[in-house]
């Protein structure tokens, strides 16, 4: 289902060899594919229609660049257009106003408001603020408990709301209480509600006029379908929202809702939720979202993640060792630990372009436990064995297998793999190391 | 993700040996034995009062605990369904009628507009293309909005009827075990609450297993629902091993002679392999106690979800063998058209639809009535 759009387009444009111009006739088929891709990514029908018209206009008569195939050319135009549409820069949270300022979270049921409230508290504290959590969801059973528990977990003070209180009154009283606690930023967690529920939407309006929040964030699920347009429009009309938090982006939803919401409300997406941990809230990058919606992977994030965990000095050290063919099993293990620091392999694979397709293949999955096993095996070797794998004979293998709780076959497999890597290194060394990125080893 | 998984794993042993939980279970068991029909014992007044032993609350106010008024309780299935789907119906009906304004035959413009209509219901591009093609092939017969509506209904019904609804025989197993799964925030816990209420109303004894030990206050939320529904509950502490909770629940249900057990699991994205493995483990631990169980695996989907719902269904189905689908939040303006694609491609029955926040706002799904209410 998630075929790479570039591949598809390349197929369409196969007949268009050479560097011709993009004409109405030869891009029509390509645009049909783009349209399908956008609709499959849950971009709203009307938005797609307009986008396609824009893209058509922009691509007509363009020279096909020498370095690109016509398919790539069209993808580039689409990508640029999407990025432009989503706003070119990241926009910050608005925290201006009289103290204490309030941030109000609104959205449908189950979009992730309470979790986002906790994540925002972490984010605010990191940027030197004193957040104060205010549970204003008196409808859903135990919603107040949920935020209170998050507060305890984070040691962030939580307003003592009870389910029999009026949400507007909660928010008003919380302002006073926040000042007493010495907090400067309130996070108002409102109840989930349907955008067509007049009564509850009216309540949001009352809260908003009672506390005059400096930012109102619509919390929306990245998996939302065509209805995203109606939801965003209703909330925006009622409340004049300041921005959007897109949640559950750690799944495989393409997140076309991001485009729909942005084009309908013209409000920036400020944050994205990328996991269940309370630190999993990230700034939104329009360009990366564009590639994701088109199913083209997110290489930038991988590079960033790698940069964050790979120690530059270690990498240089390693490169030296590799050159001299002194890459030991010990180094092998270190490498693995470093890569695992970047997050789960499955997550990483998801970001690599074209991997979406591979995942569709039956039984393709990365066994994270494999790493634990490899680490255990290497840990069960003596230092000498780690340096010179040649001395690991049958009885040593048996001992290592016993020590690591694996089988002799597992040990054999590891040593074989390692020997292969070494062989590859030798070849590469002959051809020069230039082709290899620092610290990123193939294995 | 990996880190979270380890965290969970690390706390498993703790959860296993918690004595207070076991005593808690026993206490509920004792209370559960003075058995009036659970329907009459149910429905505590305040949604958020401290969790009291369920069966000791005797009040027969099935609906009044909700905050909003609930006038049309007695309008029956069709009325409630129509009410829930009113918005959807308004949009579609008026649009289909408007499409035909001043026209006497189906032309390409009209088909394109119809395509827009169907796509904006989240039915999915491929299914819509198929539908449009079929309508096009019959275009000579279609002369009025009524014809078009009838034809659409027929085509959509044929997609929904691709499966044969299984007759549910909940009484054959003792207890009958239903596991509820789905991604985060689709309404699993609420669905469990509604299902439990439904069953107690039919005079069945119900036990809810609080196997969502991950999300903060999920257990408290479920306790309130159990209270409202007049069901028993088996719980451990937060961060306990969910498989252990499920295991204990089955044991408790067997010794108490419970008719039906609902296992509420934590929401998880279908892409997280570790968490999907955890679900399999819960299922295994249930079958360890009771071979053949869980008898049903109900996947909860959110009607506002777009095309990703299909992938969700596929992945959960691959992991666990889903037996049915519950589609929630149909009372909004989302049409949940993706279920048509899901039913069609995975051959799974859509069993329940959620059309509101009240405890009885869960309806058994019947394709014909659903489609009738749609147009």
| Interchain contact A191–B (C-beta under 8 A) | no
Closest partner CB to A194 (pick from B125, B225, B331): B331
In chain B, residues 214-253 whose CB comes closer than 8 Å to chain A = 214-218, 220-221, 223-225, 238
Interface probe for B, chosen from A196, A223, A256, A309 (most Cβ of B below 10 Å), is A223
Question: Does the beta-carbon distance from B2 to A108 stay under 8 Å?
Answer: no
Contacts of A111 in chain B (CB under 8 A): 185
| CA angle centred on B267, ends B265 and B270, rounded to 5° | 110
CATH number 3.40.50.720 is the correct assignment for the domain at A303-431: no
Considering only alpha carbons, which residue of chain B is nearest residue A260? B120
Per-residue pLDDT tens listing for chain B (375 residues):
333 333 333 343 443 333 444 434 444 444 434 443 333 333 333 333 333 333 333 333 333 333 334 444 444 555 555 555 555 555 555 566 666 666 666 777 778 888 888 888 888 888 888 888 888 888 777 777 778 878 888 888 888 765 554 555 555 778 899 999 999 999 999 999 999 999 999 999 999 999 999 988 899 999 999 999 999 999 999 889 999 999 999 999 999 999 999 999 999 999 888 899 999 999 999 999 888 889 999 999 998 999 899 989 999 999 999 999 999 988 887 778 888 888 888 888 888 888 888 888 888 877 777 676 555
Contacts of B342 in chain A (CB under 8 A): none
CA distance A34 to A71: 11
Considering only alpha carbons, which residue of chain B is nearest residue A226? B120
Is the bond into A386 cis (omega within 30 degrees of 0)? no
Question: What is the reported pLDDT for B256?
Answer: 93
Question: Does the beta-carbon distance from A248 to B185 stay under 8 Å?
Answer: yes
Ramachandran angles phi, psi of B186, nearest 5°: -90, -15
| CA angle centred on A245, ends B272 and A145, rounded to 5° | 75
Q: What is the assigned CATH class of domain A101-295?
A: alpha beta
Burial A283-304 (b: 16+ CB within 10 A, else e): ebbbbbbbbbbbbbbbeebbee
**Strand B350-354 with B362-364, pairing:** antiparallel
Q: Are B231 and B177 in contact (CB under 8 A)?
A: no
Question: What is the reported pLDDT for B280?
Answer: 94
CATH number for the A3-85 domain, one of 1.10.579.10, 3.40.640.10, 1.10.357.10, 1.20.120.140? 1.20.120.140
In chain A, residues 76-115 whose CB comes closer than 8 Å to chain B = 108-112
Residue the block writes with tokens 């609420």:
B190
| Interchain contact A311–B (C-beta under 8 A) | no
Q: What is the pTM of this model?
A: 0.72
How much is the CA Rg of chain A, to the nearest whole Å? Answer: 27
CA distance A233 to A240: 10
Question: Does the beta-carbon distance from B270 to A251 stay under 8 Å?
Answer: yes
The encoded tokens of residue A324 equal 């001299």
Closest partner CB to A42 (pick from B1, B214, B306): B306
Interface probe for B, chosen from A44, A139, A156, A225 (most Cβ of B below 10 Å), is A225
User: Complex ipTM, two decimals?
Assistant: 0.71
A-B contacts (CB, under 8 Å): 171
Considering only alpha carbons, which residue of chain B is nearest residue A249? B269
The distance of A153 to chain B (nearest Cα, Å) reads 10
Considering only alpha carbons, which residue of chain B is nearest residue A253? B308
List Cβ neighbours of B278 (8 Å cut-off, separation of 6 or more): B8, B242, B243, B268
In chain A, residues 142-161 whose CB comes closer than 8 Å to chain B = 142-150, 153
Q: Which residues pair with A189 in a beta bridge?
A: A105, A135
Which residues in chain A are classed under CATH 3.40.50.300?
Answer: 101-295
CA distance A70 to A89: 28
Ramachandran angles phi, psi of B162, nearest 5°: -60, -20
The distance of A168 to chain B (nearest Cα, Å) reads 16
Give alpha helix (H) positions in chain B: 2-10, 12-16, 19-33, 38-41, 76-84, 86-99, 108-119, 125-137, 145-160, 188-201, 218-229, 242-256, 273-289, 308-320, 338-346, 367-374
The encoded tokens of residue B34 equal 């003075």
Question: What is the reported pLDDT for B7?
Answer: 39
Residue segments in chain A with a per-residue pLDDT below the cut of 70: 1-23, 26, 61-72, 88, 295-315, 318-319, 322-323, 325, 339-368, 428-443
* Residue among A24, A204, A174, A198 nearest A105 (CA): A204
Closest partner CB to B305 (pick from A146, A196, A225): A225
Contacts of B271 in chain A (CB under 8 A): 250-252, 346, 350
Q: Are B287 and B294 in contact (CB under 8 A)?
A: yes
The distance of B185 to chain A (nearest Cα, Å) reads 4
Question: Does the beta-carbon distance from A254 to B309 stay under 8 Å?
Answer: no
Contacts of B220 in chain A (CB under 8 A): 141-142, 145-146
Residue the block writes with tokens 């006739």:
A25
* Residue among A20, A79, A140 nearest A288 (CA): A79
The distance of A215 to chain B (nearest Cα, Å) reads 24
Question: Does the beta-carbon distance from B271 to A110 stay under 8 Å?
Answer: no
Which residues in chain A are classed under CATH 1.20.120.140?
Answer: 3-85
């Amino acid at each position: 289902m998630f075929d790479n759009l570039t591949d598809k387009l390349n197929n369409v444009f196969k007949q268009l060899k050479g560097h011709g111009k993009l004409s109405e006739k030869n891009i029509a088929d390509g645009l049909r594919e783009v349209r399908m891709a956008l609709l499959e990514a849950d971009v709203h029908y009307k938005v797609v229609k307009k986008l396609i018209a824009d893209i058509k206009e922009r691509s007509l008569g363009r020279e096909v660049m020498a370095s690109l195939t016509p398919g790539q050319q069209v993808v580039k135009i689409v990508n640029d257009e999407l990025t432009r549409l989503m706003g070119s820069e990241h926009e910050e949270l608005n925290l201006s106003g009289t103290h204490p300022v309030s941030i109000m979270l609104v959205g449908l049921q189950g979009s992730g408001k309470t979790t986002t409230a906790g994540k925002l508290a972490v984010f605010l504290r990191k940027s030197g603020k004193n957040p104060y959590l205010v549970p204003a969801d008196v409808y859903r059973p135990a919603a107040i408990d949920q935020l209170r528990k998050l507060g305890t977990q984070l040691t962030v003070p939580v307003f003592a709301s009870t389910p029999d209180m009026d949400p507007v009154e909660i928010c008003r009283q919380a302002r006073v209480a926040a000042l007493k606690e010495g907090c400067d930023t309130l996070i108002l967690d409102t109840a989930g509600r349907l955008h067509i529920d007049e009564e509850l939407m009216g309540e949001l309006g009352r809260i908003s006029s009672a506390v005059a929040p400096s930012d109102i964030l619509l919390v929306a699920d990245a998996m939302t379908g065509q209805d995203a347009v109606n939801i965003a429009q209703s909330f925006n009309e009622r409340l004049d929202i300041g921005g959007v938090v897109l949640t559950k982006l750690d799944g495989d939803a393409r997140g076309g809702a991001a485009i729909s919401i942005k084009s309908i409300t013209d409000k920036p997406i400020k944050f994205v939720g990328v996991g269940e941990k309370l630190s999993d809230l990230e700034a939104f990058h329009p360009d990366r979202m564009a590639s994701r919606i088109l199913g083209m992977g997110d290489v930038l994030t991988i590079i960033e993640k790698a940069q964050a965990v790979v120690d530059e000095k270690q990498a240089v050290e390693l490169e030296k060792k590799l050159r001299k063919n002194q890459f030991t099993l010990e180094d092998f293990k270190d490498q693995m630990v470093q890569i695992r620091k970047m997050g789960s392999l499955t997550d990483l694979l998801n970001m690599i372009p074209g991997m979406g397709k591979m995942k569709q293949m039956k039984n393709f999955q990365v066994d994270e436990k494999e790493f634990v096993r490899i680490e255990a095996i290497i840990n069960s070797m003596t230092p000498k064995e780690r340096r010179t794998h040649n001395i690991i004979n049958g009885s040593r293998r048996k001992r290592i297998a016993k020590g690591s709780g694996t089988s002799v076959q597992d040990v054999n497999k590891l040593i074989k793999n390692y020997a292969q890597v070494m062989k590859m290194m030798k070849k590469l060394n002959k051809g020069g190391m230039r082709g290899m990125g620092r610290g990123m080893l193939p294995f | 993700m990996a880190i979270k998984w380890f965290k969970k794993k690390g706390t498993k042993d703790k959860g296993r040996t918690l004595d207070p939980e076991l005593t808690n279970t026993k206490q509920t068991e004792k209370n559960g034995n003075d058995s009036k029909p659970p329907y009459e014992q149910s429905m505590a007044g305040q949604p958020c009062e401290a969790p009291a032993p369920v069966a000791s609350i005797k009040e027969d106010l099935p609906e009044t605990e909700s905050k909003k008024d609930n006038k049309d309780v007695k309008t029956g299935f069709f009325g409630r369904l129509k009410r829930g789907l009113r918005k959807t119906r308004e949009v579609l009906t008026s649009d289909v009628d408007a499409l035909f304004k001043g026209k006497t035959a189906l032309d390409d413009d009209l088909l394109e507009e119809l395509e827009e209509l169907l796509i904006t219901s989240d039915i999915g591009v491929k299914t819509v293309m198929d539908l449009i093609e079929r309508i096009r092939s019959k275009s000579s017969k279609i002369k009025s909005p009524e014809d078009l509506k009838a034809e659409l209904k027929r085509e959509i019904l044929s997609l929904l009827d691709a499966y044969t609804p299984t007759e549910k025989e909940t009484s054959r197993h003792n207890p009958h075990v239903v596991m509820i799964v789905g991604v985060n925030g689709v309404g699993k816990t609420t669905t469990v609450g509604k299902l439990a209420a439904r069953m107690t109303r039919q005079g069945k004894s119900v036990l809810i297993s609080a196997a969502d030990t991950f999300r903060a206050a999920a257990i408290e939320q479920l306790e309130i629902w159990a209270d409202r529904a007049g069901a028993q509950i088996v719980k451990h502490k937060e961060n306990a091993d969910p498989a252990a909770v499920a295991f204990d629940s089955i044991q408790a249900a067997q010794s108490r002679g419970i008719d039906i057990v609902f296992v509420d699991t934590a929401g998880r994205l279908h892409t997280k392999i570790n968490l999907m493995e955890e679900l399999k483990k819960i299922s295994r631990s249930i079958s360890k106690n009771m071979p053949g169980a869980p008898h049903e695996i109900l996947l909860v989907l959110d009607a506002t979800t777009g095309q990703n719902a299909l992938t969700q269904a596929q992945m959960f189905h691959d992991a666990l063998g889903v037996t049915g689908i519950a589609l929630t939040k149909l009372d909004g303006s989302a049409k949940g058209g993706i279920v048509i694609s899901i039913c069609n491609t995975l051959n799974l029955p859509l069993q329940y639809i959620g059309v509101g926040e009240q405890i009885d706002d869960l309806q058994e799904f019947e394709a014909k009535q659903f489609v009738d209410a749609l147009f």
